[in-house]
Structure 1
């Protein structure tokens, strides 16, 4: 008689197990981010999951990556080529919003030019510009659009073609958006003029 042995269950990584228990509650996300900050060896896997849309915990990883980036943005430095080149693969709003915030943090840091600054390559910057414009002109939520507007405003101080393009998009879309969008748009338009 032939015996069928069951296939062993795939072992979840420690990070995957943690992400399974993360919920949208801020305290819950902060706790997981703190676990990453205390275990930097998990950071590379966090980035990998953040850019794996097929992973059920993809959006949760993005939430945690945003919180970790507030504390340790420099941890992203060795991963910038991967991070920036994969911005376009994100399609889920729950993943895009926190990553749009991280892009804003990266761009701000890059132009601060001090010993704790992020150093983005020209290709990284082009990827950030492309993703930010895509998020601004596609059907994303207002928070993502607001981060994109602010990111593009900063970049427009160094690329002279960005501010005119940004102004056209904001002017065209202004009437169709919420008060929150209008507030950010008005703030940025004042600075552009």
Structure 2
């Protein structure tokens, strides 16, 4: 399947589980599918970048080693995503990267992840994005104590005015 054919498949896929499943079955047979999807999702001007992000996250969820060749580029682009649906997916991928036993992250890569997680906490992000950001910070707190303390302060300050979902995750960060 060519890059153009993969793009057409992305364009024809709907958010419904059945549609995504059919697309993923076809993409699983395409060796370069995750690279193509990554290229499509980084083109934030294209309206289909959100669907490319959905498919990318689902395709690599169980094999994060596929990210090895694009990991540095992925991390460099974290702040380019403005669409809330995409930010949620990107933050979920970041959380999965941090918790992965497959990927061995460098100090610089971890720093980029923690920095972006802090940005998500102080920006006007949705709760899911913030929850994934808190997971990242909790996981890396031993290596980034100052950032953890900063995140804890942010979360404590916002705690009272936020939703029950936010408060639930915030309790875990505060007590970590």
With the length of structure 1 as denominator, give the TM-score of the two structures.
0.84
Matched residues in 1 for 2:18 and 2:170: separation? 30
| Larger CA Rg, structure 1 vs 2 | 1
Matched residues in 2 for 1:94 and 1:12: separation? 24
Specify whether residues 127 and 35 from structure 1 end up closer, same or farther in structure 2 by C-alpha distance, changes over 3 A only: farther
2:114 paired with 1:123 = no
Verify the 8 A CA contact 1:59 1:95 in the aligned structure 2: yes
Aligned counterpart for 1:43 among listed residues 13, 19, 34:
34
Matched residues in 1 for 2:118 and 2:24: separation? 28
Verify the 8 A CA contact 2:3 2:36 in the aligned structure 1: no
2:75 paired with 1:84 = yes
Cα RMSD of the aligned pairs, angstroms, is 1.7
2:2 paired with 1:18 = no
Provide the residue aligned with 1:27 in structure 2.
18
Aligned counterpart for 1:172 among listed residues 157, 160, 174:
157
Specify whether residues 84 and 187 from structure 1 end up closer, same or farther in structure 2 by C-alpha distance, changes over 3 A only: same
Give the deviation of 1:54 after TM superposition.
Answer: 1.1
Provide the residue aligned with 1:152 in structure 2.
137
Aligned counterpart for 2:66 among listed residues 47, 51, 75:
75
Instruction: Please list every run of 5 or more consecutive structure 2 residues that lacks an aligned counterpart in the other structure.
Output: none
Give the deviation of 1:147 after TM superposition.
Answer: 0.5
Specify whether residues 31 and 127 from structure 1 end up closer, same or farther in structure 2 by C-alpha distance, changes over 3 A only: farther
Instruction: Please list every run of 5 or more consecutive structure 1 residues that lacks an aligned counterpart in the other structure.
Output: 1-10
Specify whether residues 72 and 31 from structure 1 end up closer, same or farther in structure 2 by C-alpha distance, changes over 3 A only: farther
Provide the residue aligned with 1:61 in structure 2.
52
Give aligned pairs, total: 175
With the length of structure 2 as denominator, give the TM-score of the two structures.
0.92
Q: Which segments of structure 1 move beyond 4 Å, counting only runs of 4 or more?
A: none
Provide the residue aligned with 2:174 in structure 1.
189
Matched residues in 2 for 1:170 and 1:14: separation? 44
Give the deviation of 1:73 after TM superposition.
Answer: 1.1
Range moving further from structure 2, 20-29 or 128-137: 20-29
